[in-house]
C-alpha cells in the first residue's frame, strides 16, 4: 500500500459490518474471493424472517405526479410506501407486468431469494437497467416496510444494529450557469435554511462538455466558495462526468488546494478505467456510482479502487438489499459509502434509514428537501435542524403517508 492509499484509507474508515457468521468484514484487508462472497451473501437478519408473511395484494396507486405502492398481507398487515415517481411515470408498466404479479401469494420473508428468481423470471434480466431496477426497488422497499411493521422494528434493524438516528446532511446546488458570487449566495441560503455543515457544488459543463457556460467559472468557483464559506464548512464537488482524464486531474488539484472533501464523477461515469486513473493521480477522495447498477461492475470498481467513495442510488440500483451489498464490499476494501439521492417520492427518508445502520457511511447525506407527499412520523420532524435530520424509529420506513392522500389516489390499471 503506497502512502497516498494509506492516508486515504486511514482517514476514511470508521466502522465495519458484521458478516452473517458474526465476523467483522474488516476494513482494507480484502481479496477478490471475499468480495464475491459479500456480493452473494444474504444480508437480512434471519431472526426477523422465520414466520411467513404472505403477500395477498400489491397495488400501484397514483395521485397526480406521485406514485404509491400498497402491499397487504393475508393476515391484515398493510404497507404504503413511495417509489421513485420521477422514473416510474415512464416505466410503471414494467412494475405492473414484470414485478408486481410475481410477488402475489409469495412469502415476503423470502425476499432475498425471490429477487434472485425475479431476475430470471420472464427473462427480466433483459430489461435490467434503471427502468427495471427502480421497479424492483419500488417492490422491495414496500416488502421491507411490511416486514418491519409486522415484526415491530425500524427498517435498519432488518439489516443490522441501528447505530445512529441523527443523520448529518448536505445540500447540493444544481447550478452551473450563475457566477461564483451568485453561487455563494445560494449556498449561504442553503446553510441558513438547514444548518447544514456541508454543501456540494457543480463543476464543468456536465457530460463531457468541458467548457463552462461561463468560461473559467469552475476555476474561479472552487477557491471563491472556500473563501466565502470558510474552513468550518465541508465542501463536496460534482463534475457529473464533465472531463477527460487530464482536465479532471487539473481540476482535482484545485479542489485539493482548497480542501474539498470529495470529487464526484470527474470523468464519464461508465469509464471506470479512466475514473481509476484520476483516483490514482489525486489525493482527494474520488466518488462515483450513482448511475451504476451492475453488482459485478461495482465489485470491479471496489476491488481495483477505481473510486474511494461508492455512491449506489437506492432506487436506480434496485433497492436496499443490493445497495447494502455494495456498502459491505466497499467496507471490506476500506472504502466509504454514501447513497446517491434520487429526487421525488420519499427518497430522503430511504437515505436516512440507509445511513442509520451502514457503518462505513460518510459524514453527510444529500438532502433535497422534503417531498409533496404528505406524511408524518411520531419520532422525527423529517426536517433538517442544525444540519441534522432524525431517522424515524417507528416500525418499517417509520412514516405514515396521509390516509386521506392515499384514499384520493387512483389505482393504476394492472
Q: Is 318 left (phi over 0), alpha (psi -120 to 50) or beta?
A: left
Looking at 183, 212, 238, 331, which residue binds Mg ion (CB under 5 A)? 238
Residue 157 or 366: the one with the smaller Cβ distance to Mg ion is 366
DSSP state letters, 220-265: HHHHHHHHHH-TTSEEEEE-SS---HHHHHHHHHHHHHTT-SEEE-
- Find the largest Cα–Cα distance for the chain: 63
Which C-beta is closer to Mg ion: that of 306 or that of 390? 306
Query: Could you tell me the smallest distance in angstroms from the CB atom of residue 264 to Mg ion?
Result: 5
Q: Which is nearer to Mg ion, 100 or 200 (CB)?
A: 200
The distance of closest approach from Cβ of residue 240 to Mg ion in the complex, given in angstroms and rounded to an integer, is: 6
DSSP class of residue 99 equals: I
Binding region for Mg ion (CB under 5 A) out of 82-90, 198-206, 237-245, 391-399: 237-245
What is the Cα–Cα distance from 27 to 335, expressed in whole angstroms? 8
**Footprint (CB under 5 A) of Mg ion, residues 251-280:** 264
Percent composition of the chain: helix, strand, coil (DSSP 3-state, to 5): 45, 15, 40
Nearest approach in angstroms of CB 339 to Mg ion is: 11
Integer Cα distance of 189 and 326 in angstroms: 34
Distance CA 157, CA 20 (A): 14
Smaller CB separation from Mg ion, 238 or 394: 238
The interface with Mg ion within residues 3-22 (CB under 5 A) comprises none
Q: Looking at beta carbons, which residue is closest to Mg ion?
A: 238
- The residue among 200 and 328 lying less far from Mg ion, judged by its C-beta, is 200
DSSP 305-328: TS-SEE--BTTTTTSHHHHHHHHH
Q: Which is nearer to Mg ion, 145 or 238 (CB)?
A: 238
Closer of 118 and 301 to Mg ion (Cβ): 301
As measured in angstroms, the least distance from the Cβ of 334 to Mg ion is 22
- Region binding Mg ion by CB under 5 A among candidate stretches 126-134, 233-241, 365-373, 394-402: 233-241
Q: Which residues contact 95 (CB under 8 A, 6 or more apart)?
A: 60, 83, 88, 135, 138, 139
Minimum CB separation of residue 371 from Mg ion in Å reads 20
**Does 394 help bind Mg ion (rule: CB under 5 A)?**
no
Residue with smaller CB distance to Mg ion, 149 or 364: 364
Please report, as residue ranges, which positions from 326 to 345 form the binding site for Mg ion (by CB under 5 A): none
Residue among 317, 320, 315, 258 nearest 283 (CA): 258
Closer by beta carbon to Mg ion, 183 or else 264: 264
200: left (phi over 0), alpha (psi -120 to 50) or beta: beta
Interface map 180-219 toward Mg ion (x if CB under 5 A): ----------------------------------------
- Taking the CA atoms of residue 61, residue 91, residue 355 and residue 230 in that order, the dihedral angle to the nearest 10 degrees is -110
Q: Using CB under 5 A, count the residues that bind Mg ion.
A: 2
Q: With b meaning 16 or more CB within 10 Å and e meaning fewer, what string describes 8-30?
A: bbeebbeebbebeeeeebebbeb
Smaller CB separation from Mg ion, 183 or 238: 238
Contact map string, positions 282 to 321, toward Mg ion, x by CB under 5 A = ----------------------------------------
58-97 residues near Mg ion, rule: CB under 5 A: none
Which residues, 6 or more positions from 383, have their beta carbon under 8 angstroms from its beta carbon?
370, 389
Q: Which stretch binds Mg ion (CB under 5 A): 22-30, 34-42, 105-113, 230-238?
A: 230-238
Can you tell me which residue has the cell 473510486?
A: 307
- Work out how close the CB of 262 gets to Mg ion at its nearest, in angstroms, rounded to a whole number: 11
Residue 275: CB minimum distance to Mg ion, A: 13
Q: How far is the CB of 170 from Mg ion (least distance, A)?
A: 12
Instruction: Please state, as a whole number, how many other Cβ atoms lie within 10 Å of the Cβ of residue 124.
Output: 18
- In a 3-state reduction of DSSP, which class is residue 392? coil
Among 389, 390, 391, 392, smallest CA distance to 195 is for: 389
What is the smallest separation between the CB atom of 263 and Mg ion, expressed in angstroms? 11
Q: How far is the CB of 329 from Mg ion (least distance, A)?
A: 20
Q: How far is CA 254 from CA 86, 226, 264, in A?
A: 35, 11, 14
Shortest approach of Mg ion to residue 241 CB, angstroms?
Answer: 9
Which residues sit opposite 71 in a β-bridge?
Answer: 58, 79
Measured from the CB atom, the residue of 212 and 366 that comes closer to Mg ion is: 366
List of residues contacting Mg ion (CB under 5 A):
238, 264
Amino acid at each position: 500500500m503506497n502512502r497516498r492509499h494509506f492516508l486515504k484509507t486511514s482517514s476514511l474508515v470508521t466502522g465495519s459490518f458484521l458478516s452473517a457468521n458474526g465476523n467483522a468484514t474488516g476494513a482494507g484487508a480484502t481479496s477478490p474471493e471475499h468480495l464475491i462472497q459479500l456480493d452473494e451473501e444474504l444480508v437480512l437478519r434471519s431472526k426477523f424472517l422465520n414466520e411467513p408473511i404472505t403477500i395477498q395484494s400489491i397495488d400501484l396507486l397514483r395521485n397526480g405526479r406521485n406514485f404509491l405502492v400498497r402491499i397487504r398481507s393475508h393476515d391484515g398487515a398493510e404497507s404504503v410506501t413511495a417509489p421513485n415517481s420521477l422514473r416510474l411515470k415512464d416505466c410503471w408498466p414494467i412494475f405492473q407486468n414484470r414485478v408486481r404479479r410475481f410477488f402475489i401469494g409469495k412469502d415476503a420473508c423470502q425476499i432475498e431469494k425471490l429477487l434472485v428468481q425475479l431476475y430470471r423470471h420472464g427473462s427480466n434480466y433483459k430489461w435490467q437497467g434503471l427502468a427495471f431496477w427502480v421497479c424492483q426497488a419500488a417492490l422491495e422497499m414496500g416488502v421491507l416496510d411490511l416486514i418491519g411493521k409486522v415484526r415491530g422494528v425500524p427498517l435498519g434493524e432488518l439489516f443490522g444494529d441501528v447505530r445512529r438516528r441523527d443523520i448529518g446532511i448536505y445540500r447540493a446546488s444544481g447550478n452551473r450557469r450563475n457566477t461564483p458570487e451568485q453561487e455563494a449566495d445560494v449556498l449561504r441560503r442553503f446553510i441558513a435554511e438547514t444548518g447544514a455543515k456541508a454543501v456540494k457544488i457543480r463543476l464543468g459543463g456536465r457530460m463531457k462538455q468541458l467548457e463552462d457556460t461561463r468560461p473559467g467559472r469552475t476555476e474561479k468557483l472552487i477557491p471563491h466558495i472556500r473563501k466565502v464559506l470558510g474552513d468550518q464548512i465541508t465542501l463536496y464537488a460534482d463534475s457529473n462526468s464533465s472531463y477527460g482524464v487530464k482536465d479532471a486531474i487539473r481540476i482535482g488539484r484545485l479542489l485539493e488546494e482548497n480542501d474539498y472533501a470529495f470529487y464526484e464523477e470527474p470523468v464519464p461515469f461508465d469509464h471506470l478505467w479512466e475514473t481509476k486513473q484520476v483516483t490514482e493521480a489525486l489525493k482527494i477522495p474520488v466518488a462515483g456510482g450513482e448511475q451504476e447498477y451492475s453488482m459485478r461492475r461495482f465489485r470491479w470498481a471496489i476491488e481495483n479502487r477505481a473510486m474511494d467513495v461508492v455512491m449506489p442510488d437506492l432506487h436506480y440500483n434496485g433497492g436496499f438489499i443490493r445497495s447494502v451489498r455494495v456498502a459491505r464490499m466497499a467496507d471490506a476494501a476500506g472504502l466509504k459509502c454514501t447513497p446517491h439521492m434520487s429526487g421525488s417520492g420519499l427518497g430522503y427518508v430511504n437515505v436516512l434509514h440507509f445511513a442509520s445502520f451502514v457503518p462505513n457511511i460518510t459524514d453527510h447525506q444529500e438532502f433535497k428537501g422534503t417531498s409533496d407527499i404528505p406524511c408524518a412520523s411520531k419520532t422525527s420532524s423529517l426536517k433538517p435542524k442544525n444540519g441534522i435530520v432524525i431517522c424515524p424509529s417507528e416500525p418499517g420506513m417509520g412514516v405514515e403517508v396521509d390516509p386521506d392522500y392515499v384514499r384520493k389516489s387512483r389505482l393504476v390499471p394492472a
